[in-house]
């Protein structure tokens, strides 16, 4: 991502890094929320054996996207903490399953 856009407004990273974890971001119609979908495709390289993806971290640029809260809505509903420091906003998504969906609530 950083090779395409030096300072992305939002990005999803896996820790440890995995090219088999993917994220997509969608504005809702009201522009007050962003739906984030996380897909863990590690099963494709482990012959169908599910393996957890580790920790997923969403980074946003607080100057361009002010995140006030985060809520996982699929698979299990859960509030997540929004951490801000060093010119970045960070949301940690612990141990996502095959598919996880969450909303970023904007100020």
* Parent domain of 26: 10-106
Asked if residue 5 belongs to a domain, the reply is: no
54 Cβ contact list (under 8 Å, min separation 6): 14, 15, 16, 18, 95
Overall average pLDDT of the 83-95 stretch: 89
Does a structural domain hold residue 94? yes
Q: Is 2 part of any domain?
A: no
The band of 24, judged by pLDDT with boundaries at 50, 70 and 90, is very high
Dihedrals phi, psi of 42, to nearest 5 degrees:
-60, -25
Q: What is the pLDDT of residue 59?
A: 94
Structure token pair of residue 4: 């395409």
Domain count, the chain: 1
28: domain CATH number? 2.60.40
Structure tokens at 82: 């929004």
pLDDT digits (tens, 9 = 90+) for 30-74: 999 999 999 988 777 777 777 777 889 999 999 999 999 999 999
> Is residue 1 situated within a structural domain?
no
Name residues whose C-beta falls within 8 Å of residue 24's C-beta, 6 or more positions apart in sequence: 36, 37, 39
CA–CA–CA angle 91, 68, 59 (5° rounding): 30
pTM value is: 0.87
Residue 16: what pLDDT?
84
Higher pLDDT, 87 or 70: 70
Residue 48 lies in a domain: yes
């Amino acid at each position: 991502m950083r090779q395409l856009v030096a300072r992305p407004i939002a990005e999803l990273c896996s820790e440890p890094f995995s090219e088999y974890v993917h994220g997509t971001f969608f504005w809702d119609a009201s522009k007050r929320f962003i739906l984030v979908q996380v897909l863990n495709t590690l099963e494709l390289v482990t012959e169908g054996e599910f393996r957890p993806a580790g920790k997923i971290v969403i980074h946003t640029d607080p100057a361009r996207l002010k995140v006030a809260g985060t809520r996982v809505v699929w698979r299990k509903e859960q509030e997540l903490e929004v951490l801000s420091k060093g010119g970045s906003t960070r949301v940690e998504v612990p141990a996502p399953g095959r598919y996880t969906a969450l909303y970023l609530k904007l100020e």
